[in-house]
Amino acid sequence: MQITQLIPFFLLGAAFASSPSPVERKASLVQRDYATISGVISDVQSKTSSLKSAIDAYQGTGQTASVQNAQDALLNSINTGNSKVAASSSVTLAQAYQIGNQVDDLTDVVNASVDSALNKKSAFVAAGDAGKVKKGFNDLKSAANTLGSTIKSKVPSSAQNLAQQKIDKLNEAIQRGVDGYADVARRAARDFKA
């Protein structure tokens, strides 16, 4: 074989041996929107856990600020998250199921936080902070309902019923807190008159 015949083989081998050109892969719009919604739910769950920790540590007067700050951070997370989700596009059916699983996990954390608030009710009442907790539950209920509806609007129509069931369970968890503190204003007013 002559050298001129080997040159094409040599060039072909060199082409395969050279470093591949880097390829930049960008997330598709659907992947980004799923990531946005998933991130919002994760942040709300994290802030809910922080609120539970603040409630668990509450011993009375002088510790109101830590609970209030955690409550405000959670409310801000929900409201900011709602704006992010509202600006996103729809997700796929598979992603909708993944979001549903995240909402289940969030509901568990909310239930645990509500349990903590109910267990600390007497301490909140004794310190005069129960009205703030009551208002917090009502504010969170309204904000969470709005976020839930916004997330539901991003899932395919075939998953709408399932999404509503998940939202209902989350709302029921928050409603337990609302109901648990419903008598606070009446009780405070009665104690004030006495």
What pLDDT, in 10s, does the model give residues 64-73? Answer: 899 999 999 9
For the structural domain made of 29-193, what CATH number should be given?
1.20.1280.140
- Model's pTM, two decimal places? 0.80
Strand, coil or helix: what is 64?
A: helix
**Amino acid identity, residue 52?**
K
Q: pLDDT of 88-139, one tens digit each?
A: 999 999 999 999 999 999 999 999 999 999 999 999 999 999 999 999 999 9
Are 148 and 162 in contact by the 8 Å Cβ rule? The answer is no
* Residue recorded with tokens 């603040």: 54
